[in-house]
Structure 1
């Protein structure tokens, strides 16, 4: 029995997952719900629902039976050639700038390449941060160098996007490569979902606000009103709390949105390949954000940042405030 099917059989179809699922919330369709997707796996059906899953994993948090939906999904999802081509681009962020600018209409730049001699701290922007927010990477370098660190920037994919479309072997190959590159170094990730994925796969890394708070690094005071979005995978592994704690330490006035944990709408590759359902989730997310009364959103994950840009909101990373 396959790992995905074995886990699927633990589901008792109680329905607690339904309202936690962004695609069910916007479609009200059982096909696009965790329960519906699990049913398809049990029946061996190549359901459309398996292609629309945003892999936010909020269903895992909601499930009273402790079903590991992510294990079912990554062992059942099959990638297509277009998705595999996109994944290769993510592994080389320098190749992403033009496609993102043309395809998504967002401002892009080439990734920052930087390395000090005898580096003792690695800054890991992930694949998208370097391209859609190079200034955030530059500020991270300046901040850490100002504190006496020798830094190196590594621009690549963590493997999460591969896992999302069922490219598990490639994902684990990337994790192993990173394990070798990170050996003996302190690693600080600027992408919270990358941080979560790497932590879950045994890599010793810090999310940016986690590192700042853990090391009690100095912070300025910032007089600004913001709301906060908590990235999905960071929430699953329990590191999202550092985001708010750092925001509070910065002195920010935090205006709470309606369900700041709700999926942003980017949903892994959905923002590229399932644009209608992605747009519907983004519309729902924007409504929730706007209930905060502000349009400046703390976003520590680049795909979420991309979604907020598409919504017409103002996403900023915590590092942008230093």
Structure 2
């Protein structure tokens, strides 16, 4: 029996789905996509899924929607090429950096969201006992956050090596079975026997689901910080995949220990609108979802948003909000 056969078409998934919320179209809903898979009917809805998997938490039948999409999706040559470039953050930095004034619609869209990319931070101490894995997007979009995380970890006495690379989540979401598996196995080999701290929450979630033994930065921080007061007031965005595996609860425990004042927004795990590389390939729907997310944030009464996932932070900043990572807060409080 296929995963799609578990769906009873109850509709609980509809309001959890960001693309349905902004389009009100059954085609762009989890239920509509599952129906298309059942019937073997081609539909644009398969491509417009943001792969946030919020529908999995809403589903009373336990449909593993992420696995279903992974099995039926196939990447276009352009998506395959973009994912391939992102495997090498240093190469991605050079390409985006050189794209100023380009006629390429895709590169222009990227530059709109990432106007000032940074060269990935390279760092290695002799005989490191901890690997810091920023993730591909964080490496080029939030270098200061990487520096803050590095300094926090070093202050605890660890010898650190930064490992820049890609976890393969974007490949997995596009149905690139072979490539996503290859990247995970490479990381498994690279991480073997080492303590690994991952800085991007959705990357952390994906690697955990794939069986890698890693710690999200929030988990690492919770083990090492003592209670103190950090004089910041913010709202919290729960990155979609991190929320699925419970990492967002850990983040809130860290904030509680730091006595950070939190102004909760409506539906903290509502999709940011970036959807990995979704904002590049489906700008119209992505922009609508971003606007809905921004509305929820502003309703909280603050524009300062804790976001532990880089593309979420990019989307929030694009809407004029002020994203901050947990590593940045720890730096603020030091």
| TM over 0.5, shorter chain | yes
What TM-score do you get using the length of structure 2 for normalisation? 0.92
Within the candidate set 161, 171, 191, 2:180 is matched to: 171
Query: Structure 1 residues 181, 220: closer, same or farther in 2, change over 3 A?
Result: farther
Q: Alpha-carbon deviation of 1:114? A: 0.6
Counterpart for residue 61 of structure 1: 57
Structure 2 Cα separation of the partners of residues 184 and 220 of structure 1: 33
How many residue pairs get aligned? The number is: 317
Q: How does 1:49-198 map onto structure 2 within 5 Å? A: 49-100=45-96, 102=100, 103-105=110-112, 106=114, 107-198=116-207
Determine helix, strand or coil for the equivalent of 1:9: helix
CA contact (8 A) 2:93 2:118 kept: yes
Within the candidate set 15, 19, 24, 2:15 is matched to: 19
Structure 2 Cα separation of the partners of residues 233 and 16 of structure 1: 19
Counterpart for residue 245 of structure 1: 253
Cα deviation code 1:227-276 (max 9, x no counterpart): 10000001111121011111222221111111111000011221110001
Structure 2 Cα separation of the partners of residues 220 and 104 of structure 1: 39
Structure 1 Cα separation of the partners of residues 167 and 16 of structure 2: 26
Structure 1 Cα separation of the partners of residues 129 and 42 of structure 2: 47
Query: Structure 1 residues 317, 153: closer, same or farther in 2, change over 3 A?
Result: same
Structure 2 Cα separation of the partners of residues 290 and 126 of structure 1: 28
Structure 1 Cα separation of the partners of residues 48 and 227 of structure 2: 41
Counterpart for residue 226 of structure 1: 234
Counterpart for residue 259 of structure 1: 267
Tell me the C-alpha RMSD between the 2 structures: 1.3
Query: Structure 1 residues 249, 84: closer, same or farther in 2, change over 3 A?
Result: same
Q: Alpha-carbon deviation of 1:99? A: 4.6
Residue ranges of structure 1 left out of the alignment (5+ in a row) = none
Structure 1 range deviating more: 292-301 or 215-224: 215-224
Structure 2 Cα separation of the partners of residues 113 and 79 of structure 1: 31
Structure 1 Cα separation of the partners of residues 260 and 94 of structure 2: 35
Q: Is 1:48 aligned to residue 56 of structure 2?
A: no
Structure 1 range deviating more: 7-16 or 245-254: 245-254
Structure 1 Cα separation of the partners of residues 227 and 120 of structure 2: 26
Q: Alpha-carbon deviation of 1:98? A: 4.7
Structure 1 Cα separation of the partners of residues 94 and 236 of structure 2: 29
Counterpart for residue 28 of structure 1: 24
